Chain A
Amino acid sequence: MARAISTRRKLTFTAIGWLVGFVIFFPILWTVITSFKTEGEAIASPPHFLFFDWTLDSYAEVQSRSNYLKHVMNSVIISFGSTFIALLIAIPAAWAMAFSPTKRTKDILMWMLSTKMLPPVGVLVPIYLLYRDWGLLDTRLGLVIVLTMINLPIIVWMLYTYFKEIPGEILEASRMDGASLAKEIIYVLTPMAVPGIASTLLLNIILAWNEAFWTLNLTAANAAPLTAFIASYSSPEGLFWAKLSAASTLAIAPILILGWFSQRQLVRGLTFGAVK
């Protein structure tokens, strides 16, 4: 017997759902709206929600001061690059942990996660000195390396939990057929693992995109991503609400759009083994 869903119940949930969604989204919405105001309008009290002279002045101002596209390119290269490299390293490791677990597998996983607990600022000086000597300061490569390493534990863990859900019998069967290790991975494992890999990829692109300590402290002009772009608008002199809003909107728009378009892929594998 299917549950009958009364229209009234559905309408009630529609109202609650939209209200909650609006409240949670409001800070972002308000930022976007404010970015189209003049500075004076931005701090008007009582605030104007929709009826004001919409202007692109703040965007023009931001564009005239910063090379937005360059920052976006850096963010894209750094976050995508580090995620791809980390996946290349993590997939074999997670695969091995999931299908040939030993007594120490859990310990290794937990140790990997614990490396993320060192406060980054505590190792800033050592890393800065090493990067200086290796010529990696203010390079995209340098940031790709850092972000690869800091996201690797999460990636390994996420993939491991996903791989573990893949029934072992299928692998056994393919092994019986005499498939080589490479074939096993390409033909059997990969198709089953794609949703998990896709979602890991997306989650880590988001994490890398939003990382704001290393990306700010190891760059100057060449490799500076959007986090550095925001730091030049965060508290300048005078009225800055509209300009800050414009810069913020520009900084979050690419990743927000990517996230929205790919949310189904993101969600599908985002279980961390939580679903049995």
Chain B
Amino acid sequence: MRLKSLMLGACSLAAMTVWAQAETLTIATVNNGDMVRMQKLSDDFKAKNPGIDLEWVTLEENVLRQRVTTDIATKGGQYDIMTIGTYEVPIWAKQGWLQPLDKLVADDDYDVNDLLPPIRSGLTYEGKLYASPFYGESSFVMYRKDLFEKAGLTMPNAPTWDFIGEAARKLTDKSKEMYGICLRGKAGWGENMALLTAMSNSFGARWFDMDWKPQFDQPEWKATLEYYVNLMKDAGPPGASSNGFNENLALFQSGKCAMWIDATVAASFVSDPKESQVADKVGFALAPDNGLGKRGNWLWAWSLAIPAGSKKTEAAEKFIDWATSQSYTQLVASKDGWLNVPPGTRTSLYETPDYIKVAPFAKATLESINSADPDKPTVKPVPYVGVQFVAIPEFQGLGTAVGQQFSAALAGQITVDQALKNAQQLSVREMTKGGYIK
């Protein structure tokens, strides 16, 4: 009896939730802070565009990627706007899965020339813009000014890996849960491999040579991985091999790391006194180098795109315009303050005095983004584009498999040599299977 009445109640409630709508946009997005804010502020969009309703599908990054990729590749048509990154855009655009945003580009209010050049070029395929950047990031060094001062160290604006290693070891005091450096160790092409690939660029390494032959058997990779594993062993937190962006952010915010090399967007989180215990003590510097002409910083932009074949293109364009134009920046600034505006997409933001005033990391962020070059990411020539990834469909799987090996090396389960050997083997296998190596 109880069950029956429960079911009846369920049915009537279900009937109530079905209502008629004019036009509903289904937006798939990541559960990152900036996107959550966009969702909260979207009443502003609805007020300005009566007749357009929004449905949000907010998912964790990996789940989101699975969902939107399956959907677009099978033309499932479940989403009207998708949040995708710099990795997906060139691959998907090549397949004709995305609609070019010609209308936005032509729109003076949108002001396409205001976009930061490296970000724009990362989202452009054969001269057309296929996705509009929501926020962009590079990576840099965040460090604790107070600890550096106490130890008598000075962080240069553009440090070398040697200096970072030395400082990290000096600042480590494991008995007090103080770790000199926090770096990503969690396996994944967008987790530890983003850091390690970008890092390897500054060590002169590359994923493939011009014949798509994997290069893990070369000394540059060995130098990269050895440096990384040794540094983390001496100066990293416990459990580093399962730390990704979030875990490290939490560690840094609670004052357990002296240095953290990661995404520039993290700067606003660590500088936010509401969330961070070290908000007023953080300094910023460019990603380290080895004097080879490349720094270990990456380039990424979470962007909004419209799947080809969408029947709601016009409404979707309106939304993208709302979410990625300068007026959205103004909206966030007026509601939540300048510190919380989505960074890294537009030149105009870095010319806004209000922003520069509250964001000590603005200059370093801009410099990092502008110094990243997805078309020429490495010291030696490569056949691919992408700084911390290789823009081929196989990379998600391959990058993650290699990441597993490097993560195992970090955890001490296998040696650096073994990890590199395994990585080389499985890359050769994958590339042969994919038909790159004949």
Contacts and interface: CB of A to CB of B under 8 A. Distances in A.
Interface of A: 39-40, 43, 64-66, 69-70, 73, 76-77, 80, 124-125, 128-129, 132, 137-138, 216-217, 220-222, 224, 228, 231-240
B31 A233 contact: yes
Nearest to A201: B3
Interface of B: 7, 10, 13-14, 17, 26, 28, 31-33, 36, 39-40, 55-61, 63, 66-67, 70-71, 74-79, 244-246, 249-250, 253-254, 266, 269, 275, 277
B14 A39 contact: no
A65 B31 CA distance: 10
A138 B26 CA distance: 11
Contacts of B266: 237
B76 A237 contact: no
Instruction: Give the interface centre of A66, A216, A233, A238 by most chain B CB atoms within 10 Å.
Output: A238
A228 B78 CA distance: 15
A71 B342 CA distance: 29
A235 B246 contact: yes
Nearest to B277: A40
A237 B26 contact: no
Contacts of A66: 58
Contacts of A76: 10
A236 B78 contact: no
Contacts of B246: 235-238, 240
Contacts of A217: 66-67, 70
A125 B277 CA distance: 46
Given A216-B63, A238-B33, A221 B253 contact: no
Contacts of B7: 80
Contacts of B26: 220-221
Contact of B56 (A125, A221, A237, A238): A221
B83 to A, nearest CB: 13
A124 B71 CA distance: 12
Contact of B74 (A73, A128, A228, A237): A128
A221 B55 CA distance: 6
Most buried by B among A66, A69, A132: A132
A124 B70 contact: yes
Contacts of B254: 43
B36 A70 contact: no
A188 to B, nearest CB: 22
Given A234-B60, A235-B61, A236-B33, 10 more contacts: A39-B275, A65-B40, A69-B13, A70-B17, A221-B55, A231-B60, A237-B32, A238-B250, A238-B269, A239-B253
Contacts of B70: 124-125, 128, 217
A66 B39 CA distance: 10
A247 to B, nearest CB: 11
A55 B13 CA distance: 30
B58 A238 contact: no
